[in-house]
């Protein structure tokens, strides 16, 4: 009885009982160790919920990166299934991107690394294995990435993480009778969860606060506002800060999108409160979660109504409080339609009951088919047309784009800035312009897709390679030879090509039974491969050559 009482006061949702909003832990620096696991989290009284987590039991740490740093990721998967880890919004080589091609088998370490060239912004990371994305995101595998740079650092805006600069990840879920998530049959949750917290509240200082909001839903869209309808200010979205704050009272967000807003609490009394709320009642059809009804497949207790997201309590101001709104932020130079030399048109097709699922141009995603070959450095105009039965969330990897037009009534004021994801409404045509700089790689594609997880899993996804058309290739006839030492090795294994001009495209370490234990895209051979974590035994080092894509195989012994 005692236990039950204690549990009840922790979790009771009635009459203003709130739980303190969880603030994700942080990792900063240039080396990020991410341990992805199947785990449990206590969301409700009674049974724990089966979840997935990174270094914790639901959702993962916030990764702080600095523009100009080279970051090294150690993604160690302890999951029972294969996975991938994608760095949503990041400009990086396709082979590091963590799309459906970069499969991390159970027990394997994947070690991508890249130079951070994105400007200060809020990105996120999540699994992206074809047909498994919905399940793995639903279980809570993902996290924020916050990029800082010197320009953002000089602006008078809040940036104390967990105090006046707070990330909010929106993930509604439905629980079954044993408290597990209902996954795969219904993309809309009945229970709002923010940062892994049910019915959350947080005390913010009496000053301007910054909320970094991520819609990490499987399908639900949000129409955000505050319970007193106060004006708030958009300062950044997917790709970073805007030129100047944009005043808003409502802000729509589809799955995958991020928005940074400033909210002025400096005129609020200490102890007073307000709510960040989803004003989702009466939204147009095609807006995820506007469907009527409360049950599967597309109903939910939260559908087509307004509901609270976060109870905000006003506390004392901090010593370095921001109390004025900056009139300008950074100066972005956006691409214009006139810059584009290539135009592409994508049509949303299918999705009718009994027919093929939603897809682009009547073609479902298949790994072996490259939809587009983009020239390195090309500026392109992409037009995505949806004359179809439902709305979508369009996302593209590799780049940030500038939205140019929306046929269904023009761009919203919050759609300025660099974007990588947007709401594609019913009867809508959206055009954006982007440039495909850096990272040409003819054998490894980037993705574009609908970010509604069940849609992408069902094939509403395509891929493109970026190729350097001026490059001269001189393919080798046979795979290059390597010297591996020391052999046996304990901690660091070095592999040097006999021909020093040879470059490695990819390396894997496989056990003799074929199991992959490490994956190293574009391995940094001079640094040595850290094999300290693998079990003693005999292994193969498989190195794919950059020029010929032929594979050299060398065996070594781990002591
Ligand atoms: Cu957030 Cu292709 O994904
Ligand atoms: Cu992405
Ligand atoms: Cu879709």
Q: Is residue 414 within 8 Å of 248, Cβ to Cβ?
A: yes
Looking at the CA of 258, which ligand is closest?
1
Residue 122 has pLDDT above 80, yes or no: yes
Instruction: Determine the atom of ligand 1 nearest the C-alpha atom of 421.
Output: 1
Answer yes or no: is 327 within a domain: no
Length of the chain counted residue by residue: 559
Answer yes or no: is 328 within a domain: no
Same domain flag for 527 and 378: no
The pLDDT value given to residue 6 = 41
Q: Compute the distance from residue 304 Cα to the ligand 3 centre, in Å.
A: 19
Q: Compute the distance from residue 32 Cα to the ligand 3 centre, in Å.
A: 32
Residue nearest to atom 3 of ligand 1 (CA): 88
Domain of 283, CATH number, reads: 2.60.40.420
**Which of 106-115, 234-243, 515-524 is the least confident region?**
515-524
Q: Compute the distance from residue 236 Cα to the ligand 2 centre, in Å.
A: 18
Same domain flag for 461 and 395: yes
**Ligand 1 pocket member 88 (CB < 6 A):** yes
Instruction: Determine the atom of ligand 1 nearest the C-alpha atom of 88.
Output: 1
**Ligand 1 pocket member 395 (CB < 6 A):** yes
Show the CA angle centred on residue 449, arms to residues 175 and 138, nearest 5°.
15
Residues with CB under 5 A from ligand 3 (ion): 392, 450, 452, 455
Domain of 514, CATH number, reads: 2.60.40
Q: Compute the distance from residue 514 Cα to the ligand 2 centre, in Å.
A: 30
Answer yes or no: is 321 within a domain: no
Answer yes or no: is 299 within a domain: yes
- Tell me which of 467, 498, 529 is where a domain ends: 467
Same domain flag for 147 and 294: yes
Answer yes or no: is 472 within a domain: no
pLDDT band at 475 (very low <50, low <70, confident <90, very high): low
Same domain flag for 245 and 293: yes
Q: Compute the distance from residue 128 Cα to the ligand 1 centre, in Å.
A: 7
Closest CA to 21 of 313, 318, 322, 319: 313
Same domain flag for 462 and 497: no
User: What's the chain's Rg over C-alpha atoms?
Assistant: 24
Answer yes or no: is 473 within a domain: no
- Tell me which of 254, 284, 315 is where a domain ends: 315
Strand, helix or coil for residue 144? strand
Return the percentage of the chain with pLDDT > 70, whole number. 96
Same domain flag for 308 and 399: no
- When the pLDDT of each residue in the chain is averaged and rounded to a whole number, the result is 94
Q: Compute the distance from residue 146 Cα to the ligand 1 centre, in Å.
A: 16
Q: What is the spatial distance between Cα 106 and Cα 124, in angstroms, rounded to a whole number?
A: 22
Instruction: Determine the atom of ligand 1 nearest the C-alpha atom of 397.
Output: 2
Residue nearest to atom 1 of ligand 1 (CA): 88
- Tell me which of 281, 315, 349 is where a domain ends: 315
Q: Is residue 220 within 8 Å of 288, Cβ to Cβ?
A: yes
Q: Compute the distance from residue 87 Cα to the ligand 2 centre, in Å.
A: 6
**Ligand 1 pocket member 206 (CB < 6 A):** no
| Start-to-end CA span in the chain (Å) | 54
Same domain flag for 421 and 453: yes
Return the percentage of the chain with pLDDT > 90, whole number. 87
Same domain flag for 35 and 106: yes
Q: What is the spatial distance between Cα 74 and Cα 493, in angstroms, rounded to a whole number?
A: 17
Same domain flag for 76 and 48: yes
Instruction: Determine the atom of ligand 1 nearest the C-alpha atom of 447.
Output: 2
Closest CA to 257 of 225, 217, 284: 217
Which long-range contacts link 522-528 to residues 24+ away (Cβ below 8 Å)?
Answer: 522/93, 522/95, 522/96, 522/113, 523/495, 524/113, 525/494, 525/495, 525/496, 528/492, 528/493, 528/494
**Ligand 1 pocket member 86 (CB < 6 A):** yes
Backbone phi, then psi, for 369, in 5-degree steps?
Answer: -110, 120
Secondary structure of 400-420 as H, E, C letters: CEEEEEECCCCCCHHHCCEEC
Q: Compute the distance from residue 464 Cα to the ligand 3 centre, in Å.
A: 19
Mean pLDDT of 136-164: 98
pLDDT band at 438 (very low <50, low <70, confident <90, very high): very high
The pLDDT value given to residue 443 = 86
Same domain flag for 49 and 196: yes
Instruction: Determine the atom of ligand 1 nearest the C-alpha atom of 126.
Output: 1
Q: Is residue 240 within 8 Å of 119, Cβ to Cβ?
A: yes
Q: Kindly state the tokens that stand for 285.
A: 């059809």
192-216 tens-digit pLDDT: 999 999 999 999 999 999 999 999 9
Same domain flag for 36 and 94: yes
Q: Structural domain tally of the chain?
A: 3
**Ligand 1 pocket member 455 (CB < 6 A):** no
Q: Compute the distance from residue 95 Cα to the ligand 2 centre, in Å.
A: 13
Q: Which domain holds residue 404?
A: 337-467
The pLDDT value given to residue 11 = 45
Residue 2 has pLDDT above 90, yes or no: no
Q: What is the spatial distance between Cα 160 and Cα 166, in angstroms, rounded to a whole number?
A: 8
**Ligand 1 pocket member 128 (CB < 6 A):** yes
Instruction: Determine the atom of ligand 1 nearest the C-alpha atom of 256.
Output: 1
Answer yes or no: is 128 within a domain: yes
Same domain flag for 449 and 505: no
Answer yes or no: is 492 within a domain: yes
Looking at the CA of 101, which ligand is closest?
1
């Amino acid at each position: 009885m005692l236990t039950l009482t204690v549990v009840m006061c922790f979790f009771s949702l009635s009459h203003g009982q709130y739980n303190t909003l969880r603030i994700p832990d942080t990792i900063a620096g240039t080396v990020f160790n991410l341990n992805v696991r199947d785990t449990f989290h206590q969301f409700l009284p009674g049974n724990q919920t089966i979840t997935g987590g990174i270094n914790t039991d639901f959702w993962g740490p916030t990764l702080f990166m600095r523009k100009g740093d080279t970051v090294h990721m150690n993604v160690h998967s302890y999951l029972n299934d294969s996975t991938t880890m994608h760095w949503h919004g990041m400009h990086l080589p396709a082979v590091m991107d963590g799309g459906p091609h970069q499969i991390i088998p159970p027990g394997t370490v994947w070690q991508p690394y890249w130079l951070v060239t994105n400007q200060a912004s809020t990105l996120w990371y999540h699994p992206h294995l074809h047909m498994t994305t919905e399940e793995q995101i639903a279980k809570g595998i993902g996290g924020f990435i916050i990029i800082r740079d010197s320009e953002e650092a000089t602006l008078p805006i809040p940036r104390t993480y967990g105090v006046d600069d707070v990330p909010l990840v929106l993930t509604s879920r439905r629980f079954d009778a044993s408290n597990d998530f209902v996954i795969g049959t219904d993309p809309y949750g009945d229970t709002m969860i923010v940062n892994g917290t049910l019915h959350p509240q947080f005390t913010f200082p009496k000053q301007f606060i910054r909320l970094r909001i991520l819609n990490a839903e499987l399908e639900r869209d949000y129409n955000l506002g505050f319970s007193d309808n106060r004006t708030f200010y958009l300062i950044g979205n997917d790709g970073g800060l805007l030129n100047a704050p944009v005043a808003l009272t409502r802000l729509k967000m589809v799955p995958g999108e991020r928005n940074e807003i400033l909210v002025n609490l400096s005129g609020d009394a200490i102890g007073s409160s307000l709510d960040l709320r989803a004003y989702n009642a009466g939204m147009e059809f095609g807006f995820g979660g506007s469907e009527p009804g409360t049950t599967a497949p597309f109903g939910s207790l939260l559908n087509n109504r307004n509901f609270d997201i976060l109870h905000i309590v006003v506390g004392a101001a901090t010593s370095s409080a921001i109390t004025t709104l900056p009139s300008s932020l950074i100066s972005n130079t956006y691409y214009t339609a006139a810059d584009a030399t290539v135009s592409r048109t994508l049509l949303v097709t299918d999705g009718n009951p009994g027919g093929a699922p939603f897809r682009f141009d009547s073609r479902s995603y298949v790994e072996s088919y490259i939809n587009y070959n983009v020239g390195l450095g090309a500026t392109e105009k992409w037009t995505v047309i949806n004359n179809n039965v439902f709305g979508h969330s369009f996302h593209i990897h590799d780049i940030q784009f500038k939205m140019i037009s929306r046929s269904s009534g023009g761009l919203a004021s919050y759609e300025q800035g660099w974007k990588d994801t947007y709401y594609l409404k019913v009867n809508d045509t959206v055009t954006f312009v982007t440039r495909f700089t850096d990272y040409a790689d003819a054998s490894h594609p980037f993705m574009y897709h609908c970010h509604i997880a069940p849609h992408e899993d069902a094939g509403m996804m395509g891929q493109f390679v970026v190729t350097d058309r001026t490059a001269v290739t001189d393919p080798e006839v046979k795979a290059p030879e390597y010297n591996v030492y020391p052999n046996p090795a304990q901690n660091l294994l070095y592999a040097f090509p006999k021909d020093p001009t040879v470059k490695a495209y990819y390396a894997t370490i496989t056990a003799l039974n074929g199991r992959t234990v490490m994956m190293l895209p574009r391995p940094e051979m001079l640094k040595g491969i850290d094999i300290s974590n693998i079990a003693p035994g005999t292994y193969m080092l498989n190195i794919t050559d950059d020029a010929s894509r032929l594979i050299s195989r060398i065996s070594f012994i781990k002591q």
